[in-house]
Chain A
């Protein structure tokens, strides 16, 4: 009997065995589906072109241009004229051969990049000869095209993601464009759009043999948004021209809205250098310039002593805290003894008796030192007073990040009681110890954008909106994104100080800044500064500073200009600030002679002094 059922048992047994294996493979183990996906389907991203960037007047600043990567599929290479290829490509034979070799190492059947980001004109020459070079082809990509090559520090730059990055940035592919700095980085999400994908069926050699499922699972990319900036391209370009051969920064803000009209950092560079094939070469060059530091944004990252412009703030605090009134007078004799044996110099003649407005337009050190001293000594301890003072200043956006929409910045510094307690553990410090703060020297540090911002706050008579670069198109958006930050100072006090600032331009230190038909308010500054040369503290020529706004009533522009080692505020900063205001308010500059003088003026010789290795004279 058993003989009859053996084959039967074997048959049924095998089919049960097979069904079990099928259950294991198909129903229980999901691993195989994933492996099949990896195996047979290639996902290829489709990138939307990056969003365009416009200035506030809808001038196109940044667009995109095609570039081409030269690709090679090693399997398809025949013998070709190496010489012809390298002469068009402008690379060495060694480079070409090593690229091909590493491509072969990667895969014989898959494409590898030989030369990145060739511009259209080079490709055009090569294209008609491509038939001579089997295995090579061009792959189109997109890179940034700076139509108006300005404001590289604001716009930032893009580059391709690298191997290391894509491990953390899950949504990015290798070689995808990513915003690295500036606006490109801040608004990466908006400018990038949402990439789509195409699925392809691969064969066993990893070659693409067609669309997967006829494209049923493909996703079309979502177009990127265009971006309108608050920057005024004309003003920005004008500012950059004025800053040629100088170092420093200009920040112009529309006070009512906090919109940044221009942000000029000098020296800068042509943003088009950081696109295309030679990007890394130029980038390294810029990065390695550790003296001029073109990649260092002096408007946002440089912390300077604010100098005399800071007196306006001390005046406001003095008024608000009832230390002084507009009528309060202090006498000055080319300076004064603020403590026993401690004399602070001033420009005022002997026997001058200034009220507040005169003190502002004459920039009287004595007046503000005495005011500050009274302020500090007005409370039961200097700690309380200085912290009150600090609280006022913080309301002007000082001593911390302003929160603008660029990824870099510095906090600046406003000292408080805990800072001095640390330096003087016995708490034996007082008004005289910290008197330099009264005239904007001492421990205070501000960045040019912070200076422009407090200028705007004064222009607004007591509030500021966070400075920003992305234009908003309705009042409600503006209010929700950039609400008014109010100071603790009454409006009436601002009027006093503003009148003083107006007199600065009318008959004070910044008479050069006067513009016919425009009421300008301003304040100059001249700031002592030091560097270390061979470990020795060495004084350099003073920084030239100007803050200002115009028109006096209903201000349209507030500006801070900082010229490193420019000496008197009236020498460089005030005229440059004035020209900027004129350009913005009037559209063109009438004072041709001043414009020419400022554009052609150079401080290069001044900057070289410390590096020539011999003694030098400052403040010439």
Chain B
């Protein structure tokens, strides 16, 4: 065990982090580039601001690395409560931007508490799960955990900021990793499949089709294991049918048209490239026109024309696709994948539960952002307003994910202590 913290650091993750943020700042500079603001270091431009936050994060790095790792565990409840207070405070002191009450404005800086709620919730869940008494198959324990996740989610949904809320559901990966009944995962996957199917097909026809499949599967299993119980089949089919009809009901009666549109476009049920499908269409044009090598930095015609809305934040990946081409986007995806996998592998090496679970939570949240953001930009996932961590413009998001990374680095470097 080296005494020198520098030798114990996960330098690969730090390298990827630096690469991603630099790539991000360049891309933000490109999307907001105009002949008037030429300098990348102009603090009034988005790229300049992002650079400023990045510098601040780099200053924060040694401070967080030097903190005693036990502090996070001890203060988890305090952090959590503070962040709940900050979320509740939004309804009183918050600033409405783009229709959502998600921001505090302090001295010219806007600040989004939901980003920090991601850290505190991850810490609290890690703390709770690392306790020896906990048993995720015990309903009361499970409810306790789920409550600690769902409370910030509800507060965030109320802003309303569905995108940030959805990220918390990434913690389901943590629960499964830590012993939640694996059938929950299968059921979840089944429900996602049913959800898509019920949007594509008539609910009655679909239910009958599923009934037929269940009967066939049941008979097949009964032939080899005659003693198989009927009940779980009936139960699962019941849930499925109920789910199909409720999806149908919710989708058509509870959802607003704009929500419906987002699903319809990804599923190819609508192809209105001027109206509701505009964003995705323009994003795909930008990426597709990049070709193998891309059009070059600051040369993206789609980017310069501002065809893709929110291109410096949620749709930043389309700029990368256009200006850096397949080579750049491929590299970005690979870097991201390596980062997530690296964190998972290092987490698995932890001997203590808290560092492992926290690292795992971090990886899960990163994954959700990665999956939804790039999936949306590529037209594979319904539009959800969610940034690509380290790349997208957004000070709070960069700060929050940097802090999470630094906490991970801290815990990782103290693995053998």
Contacts and interface: CB of A to CB of B under 8 A. Distances in A.
Interface of A: 2-4, 6-8, 10-12, 14-15, 17-19, 21-23, 25-27, 29, 31-33, 35-37, 39-41, 201-204, 209-210, 212-213
B288 A41 contact: no
A26 B321 CA distance: 8
A203 B300 CA distance: 12
Nearest to B296: A213
19 contacts: A3-B176, A6-B176, A7-B360, A10-B173, A15-B336, A17-B375, A18-B333, A21-B379, A25-B378, A26-B288, A26-B291, A27-B291, A32-B287, A33-B288, A37-B301, A39-B285, A39-B302, A39-B305, A201-B301
Contacts of A27: 291-292, 326
Contacts of A209: 304-305
Given A26-B292, A36-B288, A41 B185 contact: no
Contacts of B348: 4
A44 to B, nearest CB: 15
Nearest to A213: B299
Contacts of B286: 36
B169 interface: no
Contacts of A40: 301-302, 304-305, 307
B330 A22 contact: yes
B301 A23 contact: no
B292 A36 contact: no
A31 B281 CA distance: 12
Nearest to A36: B289
A18 B305 contact: no
B268 to A, nearest CB: 14
A185 B341 CA distance: 72
Contact of B285 (A18, A36, A210): A36
B401 interface: no
B341 A12 contact: yes
Contact of B329 (A6, A22, A37, A41): A22
Interface of A is mostly: helix
A7 to B, nearest CB: 5
Interface string B351-372: 0000000001001100100110
Given A25-B321, A29-B288, A32-B287, 19 more contacts: A4-B177, A6-B173, A6-B185, A7-B173, A8-B344, A10-B367, A14-B374, A18-B374, A18-B380, A21-B380, A22-B321, A22-B326, A26-B290, A26-B292, A26-B325, A33-B289, A35-B289, A40-B304, A209-B304
A201 B284 contact: no
B306 interface: yes
A316 B370 CA distance: 98
A33 B380 contact: no
A26 B329 contact: yes
What are the 6 closest A-B residue pairs judged by CB atoms, nearest first?
Answer: A32-B288, A36-B289, A40-B301, A25-B288, A40-B305, A15-B337
A19 to B, nearest CB: 6
Contacts of B35: 210
A3 B177 contact: yes
B286 to A, nearest CB: 7
A557 to B, nearest CB: 63
A202 B287 CA distance: 17
Interface of B: 35, 173, 176-179, 182, 185, 282, 284-292, 299, 301-302, 304-307, 321-322, 325-326, 329-330, 333-334, 336-337, 340-341, 344, 348, 360, 363-364, 367, 370-371, 374-375, 378-380
Contacts of A33: 288-289, 291
Contacts of B322: 36
Given A36-B289, A209-B304, A26 B375 contact: no
A13 B339 CA distance: 15
A6 B287 CA distance: 30
A26 B287 contact: yes
Contact of B287 (A8, A14, A25, A201): A25
A41 B306 CA distance: 12
Contacts of B305: 39-40, 201-204, 209
Residue among A4, A15, A31, A36 with most chain B CB within 10 A: A36
Contacts of B321: 22, 25-26
Nearest to B304: A201
B127 to A, nearest CB: 20
Contacts of A8: 341, 344
A6 B370 contact: no
Nearest to B345: A8
A22 B331 CA distance: 12
Contact of B371 (A14, A22, A36, A37): A14
A14 B292 contact: no
A182 to B, nearest CB: 44
A41 B344 CA distance: 45
Contacts of A201: 301, 304-305
Contact of B307 (A2, A15, A29, A204): A204
Contacts of B173: 6-7, 10
Interface core residue of B35, B334, B380 (most chain A CB under 10 Å): B380
Given A2-B182, A26-B321, A212-B301, A31 B288 contact: yes
Contacts of B304: 40, 201, 203, 209-210
A487 B190 CA distance: 97
Contacts of B375: 14, 17-18
B370 A14 contact: yes
A203 B306 contact: yes
A23 to B, nearest CB: 7
A4 to B, nearest CB: 6
A12 B307 CA distance: 31
A358 B173 CA distance: 122
Contacts of A25: 284, 287-288, 321, 378
Contacts of B179: 3
A3 B185 CA distance: 10
A492 to B, nearest CB: 78
A7 B344 contact: yes
B306 A204 contact: yes
A35 B285 contact: yes
A455 B121 CA distance: 107
A34 to B, nearest CB: 8
A279 to B, nearest CB: 38
A205 to B, nearest CB: 9
Contacts of A203: 304-307
A15 B374 CA distance: 9
A32 B341 CA distance: 33
Contacts of B329: 22, 26
Nearest to B340: A11
Given A18-B375, A201-B301, A39 B307 contact: yes
A209 B341 CA distance: 43
A32 B318 CA distance: 13
Contacts of A14: 367, 370-371, 374-375
Nearest to B325: A26
A498 B360 CA distance: 114
Nearest to A206: B305
A8 B366 CA distance: 12
Given A3-B182, A36-B302, A39-B302, A15 B285 contact: no
Nearest to A210: B35
A12 to B, nearest CB: 7
B230 to A, nearest CB: 26
A73 to B, nearest CB: 18
Given A6-B173, A8-B344, A15 B289 contact: no
B306 A7 contact: no
Q: Which of A8, A11, A213 has the most CB of B within 10 A?
A: A11
A11 B325 CA distance: 22
A385 B102 CA distance: 106
Nearest to A207: B305
Contacts of B334: 15
A589 B341 CA distance: 103
B367 A12 contact: no
Interface centre among A22, A33, A202, A204 (most CB of B within 10 A): A22
Contacts of A21: 378-380
